Structure 1
Amino acid sequence: MPRDLSGEKYRGPEVLRRDQVDGTTTDQRLLDDKGSAAWLHTDPWRVLRIQAEFVEGFGSLAEIGPAIGVFGSARTPEGHPSYAQAEEVGRKLVAAGFAVITGGGPGAMEAANKGASEAGGLSVGLGIELPFETGLNQWVDKGINFRYFFARKTMFVKYAQGFVVLPGGLGTFDELFEALTLAQTGKITSFPIVLVGTTYWQGLLAWLRDTVLADGKISAADLDRLTLTDDVDEAVRLMVEASAKGGRSRQGGQPGEPGEPGEPGEPSSP
């Protein structure tokens, strides 16, 4: 027999029936509620916060021009060879016409931002809320702090034209392997990834080659996406060459392809 839908209620895109039907409206709860702020921590509200992070990130970074992401350990102390190397990377990327984007933290990130800022270029930091790091480093000229890793990581791959990866830990590995996965699956193209520090990275590459590739879990082309070097000039040159060959535009599209509707400088559909 037909179900009794006399208790049916529509609440936006939701359909509520039987014991799910409440006796109030959303407007009523909004205007009447003077009590607990627990709603700030519910999933629907988080969706709005996530949306706001994407809007803020897109709006802030859309016009930074060609940029390279530089990654490395937050635990690299000033005076360490990797710190000086990160400064050199930031400085030489700016000299080559790029902005520099880092995670905005201390260590190698700070060094890359310092090199970029002191060279007169744009030094960008995309920070993240963490229990053990405090804010953006002093060399960030344009900074955004994110609550959500996935929103932050989208900004790295959308607005960088390549990655230079210095010795680092889990966060650095995360960015490295995400970029490799996105390149392997065709989500990003013309995206050079350079590992700086042969002594540090060669063990990882040997494992990928001798174990992962040998067992058929990846292809040789996947490893070819990585370049290992100790030469900062070579790392920068590879970024310049990829850009000259027609790498991704700053809005993330391919040469000759229209941007997404509504992006700055692109026509929107009516």
Structure 2
Amino acid sequence: MLSPNDPNDHEIETIEEFDRVAASGSLRGHRVQSVDLTTRTPALMSADIAEAVFLGCPMEPEAAAYVRAAGAMVFPPVPDLPFDPYRGSLYGPDALYEGLVDDGYEATPDARAYQWFLRTRGSGDIYASMLRSIHDDAVSDAFDELVMDARVVGVMGGHAMERGTDAYAGAARLGRALTRAGLTVATGGGPGAMEAANLGAYAAPFDDAMLAEALETVAKVPSFRPSITDWARAAFDVRDRRPGGGASIGVPTWFYGHEPPNAFAEHIAKYFANATREDGLLARCTAGVVFLPGAAGTVQEVFDNTTPNYYESHGTPRPMVLVDRDHWTRRLPAWPLLQALAEGRTMEPRIALVDSVEDAPEALARLSRG
């Protein structure tokens, strides 16, 4: 299960948290992230706010002047940005896809953030670079808070896997099985195998017929090409018909902004920097990683995950399960190299190659037991 925030930390991320802390008379040393404080001027001007930091919090001019003079630091909201660099929580599908139904994908915050990224990433503008870095750090902080006590299992695989295929259905069943086993599924957050695993996690609380119906619904739009709008609307159709699905995590990136985030991940840690995204996703997969067939990106993830396992000498390496023997031994023969690296090291009993997705949950559980 996902964790609530640590009640002992000094971060304030909602107006309810602000009111609770401010009622004590002291905001000293707290960090307030993206909370609209325009209606909280009396509370701000009556509290001890020395050493507090306000990140992207709208305030009345009188309150902003007071808190600066009283020893707090104020980082004002940044105008005309399609994203909040100081955000205190991860995204949800509704936030990234706001406006999809009426105006199409191009009008959504996700699409507008990608266009901003395209305009600024090669400009050499240190201000834009700083905003991207602040945003990604805020996302990482929120990500850590979300999974603090969770048993997170990664499901990696290619974006080219289309809806309506046996492979897509298998990845969805895998996500469902892992979620029903009490694990929190985390994926790269995009289309293909990633979406399928998040869909399976979403379907976990329902009867098995729900997943069959959902697979049939999304299969009507097999790919995000040529229309991201139609592809995303099909996913939201499933969510609207069966609200309240299981929670999982998607970790996409605007670096590959042509790949839209899938709408089945309840929590979306979207980054500008792909390296931060890749490393952060794998590092948080504390219960292991299942690798479905994929191309260059998935192969990279296999060995990105192998490196810390290879050098692990004191703790317990995290399990790695590769699915589809033919793919990983013949088409893209990563398995022989992985075996060679593992030989004689603590990670050796923590890797497995299985024939099908149906074998993966049992293999993961076996490796976890050691």
Q: What is the Cα deviation at residue 131 of structure 1? A: 4.2
Which residue in 2 is equivalent to 1:117?
Answer: 202
Which residue in 1 is equivalent to 2:364?
Answer: 239
Which residue in 1 is equivalent to 2:302?
Answer: 176
Which residue in 2 is equivalent to 1:86?
Answer: 171
Q: Is the 8 A contact 2:249 2:265 kept in 1?
A: yes
1:212-265 deviation line (CA, Å, top 9, x unaligned)? 94xxxx4624684431112434321232244456xxxxxxxxxxxxxxxxxxxx
Out of 174-183 and 80-89, give the one that drifted further: 80-89
**1:208 and 2:337 matched:** yes
**1:60 and 2:146 matched:** yes
Distance 1:193 1:79, change over 3 A: same
Residue 264 of structure 2: which of 130, 134, 139 is its match?
139
Which residue in 2 is equivalent to 1:40?
Answer: 127
Larger-gyration structure (1/2)? 1
For residues 54 and 142 of structure 1, the distance between their equivalents in structure 2, rounded to whole angstroms, comes to 12
Amino acid of the structure 2 residue aligned with 1:208: L
Distance 1:242 1:229, change over 3 A: closer
Residue 226 of structure 1: which of 351, 354, 358 is its match?
351
Local SS of the residue matching 2:365: helix
Which residue in 1 is equivalent to 2:187?
Answer: 102
Q: What is the Cα deviation at residue 181 of structure 1? A: 1.0
Distance 1:91 1:123, change over 3 A: same
For residues 153 and 110 of structure 1, the distance between their equivalents in structure 2, rounded to whole angstroms, comes to 17
Q: What is the Cα deviation at residue 62 of structure 1? A: 2.4
1:139-177 deviation line (CA, Å, top 9, x unaligned)? 111111111223223432332110000000111111110
Stretches of structure 2 that go unaligned for 5 or more consecutive residues are: 1-74, 76-123, 206-245
Q: What is the Cα deviation at residue 138 of structure 1? A: 1.5
- Higher strand fraction (1 or 2): 1
For residues 354 and 126 of structure 2, the distance between their equivalents in structure 1, rounded to whole angstroms, comes to 51
Q: What is the Cα deviation at residue 132 of structure 1? A: 4.8
Q: Is the 8 A contact 1:93 1:99 kept in 2?
A: yes
Stretches of structure 1 that go unaligned for 5 or more consecutive residues are: 1-29, 31-36, 246-270
TM-score by length of 2: 0.49
For residues 142 and 45 of structure 1, the distance between their equivalents in structure 2, rounded to whole angstroms, comes to 22
**1:164 and 2:268 matched:** no
Local SS of the residue matching 1:191: coil
1:42-72 deviation line (CA, Å, top 9, x unaligned)? 5x66654453343232233325x21210000
For residues 164 and 275 of structure 2, the distance between their equivalents in structure 1, rounded to whole angstroms, comes to 32
> In angstroms, what is the RMSD of aligned CA positions?
3.0
Q: Is the 8 A contact 1:164 1:193 kept in 2?
A: yes
Q: Is the 8 A contact 1:73 1:169 kept in 2?
A: yes
Out of 77-86 and 153-162, give the one that drifted further: 153-162
Q: Is the 8 A contact 1:82 1:167 kept in 2?
A: no
Q: Which has the higher contact order (CA 8 A, sep 6+)?
A: 1
